Structure 1
Amino acid sequence: MSNQKAALQQLARDFAAVIPGVDQEAEHDRWDPGIGPFEEEKQLEMILDELAEGPRPGHIETEEQYPDSRKRCDLVITGDGFRMPIEAKLLRFRRDNGNIDPNMYKSVFSPFPERSSSSLLTDSRKLYESGFGLPAGLLGLYYEKDREEYDQLTADRIAEKFQQDVSFWYDIGIETVTIERFEGLRHQHFGHGAVIGWILRDE
């Protein structure tokens, strides 16, 4: 196993380990209590703050500028002889009230880059073509409804589909390296989930 793969697995494991604790303290002034309803940027901030209270998985930098553009990468892990960029995305296909969020599918699986936003899929191509080099990582914060009626909305199926889509659209080498589950969250529709890690590499 490569150092980068092991580092990504450990990062996902550490994220999953602290999410239930963050959930117990997370209060939203509009939505039901818990970490699930918060937006992606705030969730990452709360998780990293919690990790900072104990041992961190290597050195983590945030909002690092891409070498070849003004865009910023969510996370960069520095380990023994490597620096690995990681883009993170919230994978939450339901709203606070339990209804399907029609915009979330696009924010994960759309292959078409837009001026104002990017999907996790287009992030994979951005990472692959960036000056950071490979391997690079992708991290999905996935929340699943209890007794979800759509069989396709499980961490394993989402991980598999995303891997297939990256290969289909961009012919990029990708591997699902970990699915780290968490449970016992307070929100009725975001009660459990997983942190999914993918690694991009040269074929």
Structure 2
Amino acid sequence: MTQTTDVLQEIACDFASVIPAVDKEATHERWDPGIGPFEEERQLEMVLDALASKGEVPANIEREVRYPESGRRCDLVIRDRTLEIPIEAKLLRFRLDNGNIDPNMYKSVFSPFPERSSSSLLTDAQKLAESDFGLPCGLLGLYYEKENEEYQQLRADRIAEKFEIDVEYWYDLEIETVAVEPFERLRHPHHQKGAVISWVVR
């Protein structure tokens, strides 16, 4: 275990601990109630606000931090005197509000091909590894599924494992899943439970 691994485990645990409470208050103007339908940036904001209200957000977490070598922004950076961990986060939400499979989500997670307007969690791993932040770095997935999901491959632990394999295959990076922290009893009919997954890239 390393200090970076410990921090990434703690972040996943902290996020998962407040998601059910956030879910009880989260109401979207367009979609069914619950945190699941919200956009990635808003979910991060709501979770961090909930942790702050409990006094549990480390003061050294910064959001939307500029990459040292470019104008791009990193979702989260944790800093203290001896440690800097840049973290990119993504929603892992394979079903739409109506329960249908989201045709765009798979590439949002697993596509190895960078695009001008967007990046996948996979290309985020490469982006972080090649950045002037340096290694190690972290990745965070906010994963949602419905009860009795018929696709066995859509399980948090399976997604975490596949992601490791793909990062190693495409980029020859050392990556490890450090946490799969479950949560459940959410209000949305198709985003009913899930997990916060964190990985460390070395």
TM-score, normalization by structure 2: 0.98
Deviations along 1:108-140, whole A, 9 cap, x unmatched?
000000000000000000000000011100000
Residue 78 (structure 1) shift: 1.6
Q: SS state of the match for residue 64, structure 1?
A: strand
Deviations along 1:161-187, whole A, 9 cap, x unmatched?
000000000000100001000001111
User: Does the CA contact (< 8 Å) of 1:90 and 1:142 recur in 2?
Assistant: yes
Aligned-residue sequence identity (percent) comes to 69
Partner of 2:141: 140
Deviations along 1:73-105, whole A, 9 cap, x unmatched?
000012451010000000000000100000000
Partner of 1:172: 173
The runs of at least 4 aligned residues of structure 1 exceeding 4 Å deviation read none
Residue 154 (structure 1) shift: 0.1
Task: Kindly report which structure 2 residues correspond to 1:65-76, keeping only aligned pairs within 5 A, or say none.
Answer: 65-76=66-77
Q: Aligned AA for 2:152?
A: D
Partner of 1:34: 34
Deviations along 1:34-57, whole A, 9 cap, x unmatched?
000111111111111111112214
Residue 22 (structure 1) shift: 0.4
Q: Aligned AA for 2:159?
A: I
Partner of 1:154: 155
Partner of 1:111: 112
User: Does the CA contact (< 8 Å) of 1:93 and 1:105 recur in 2?
Assistant: yes
Residue 58 (structure 1) shift: 5.4
Task: Kindly report which structure 2 residues correspond to 1:89-128, keeping only aligned pairs within 5 A, or say none.
Answer: 89-128=90-129
* Further displaced range: 112-121 or 41-50: 41-50
Residue 145 (structure 1) shift: 1.1
Q: SS state of the match for residue 140, structure 1?
A: strand
| Counterpart-to-counterpart distance in 1, 2:74 and 2:31 | 28
Q: Does 1:49 align with 2:49?
A: yes
| Counterpart-to-counterpart distance in 2, 1:51 and 1:142 | 19
TM-score, normalization by structure 1: 0.97
Unaligned runs of 5+ in 2: none
When residues 52 and 187 of structure 1 are mapped into structure 2, their CA distance, relative to the original with a 3 A threshold, is same
Q: SS state of the match for residue 102, structure 1?
A: coil
User: Does the CA contact (< 8 Å) of 1:11 and 1:57 recur in 2?
Assistant: no
| Counterpart-to-counterpart distance in 2, 1:141 and 1:79 | 25
User: Does the CA contact (< 8 Å) of 1:18 and 1:50 recur in 2?
Assistant: yes
- Supply the RMSD in Å over aligned alpha carbons: 0.8
User: Does the CA contact (< 8 Å) of 1:7 and 1:57 recur in 2?
Assistant: no
Partner of 2:200: 199
Q: Aligned AA for 1:39?
A: E
User: Does the CA contact (< 8 Å) of 1:34 and 1:186 recur in 2?
Assistant: yes
Q: Does 1:19 align with 2:19?
A: yes
| Counterpart-to-counterpart distance in 1, 2:26 and 2:56 | 21
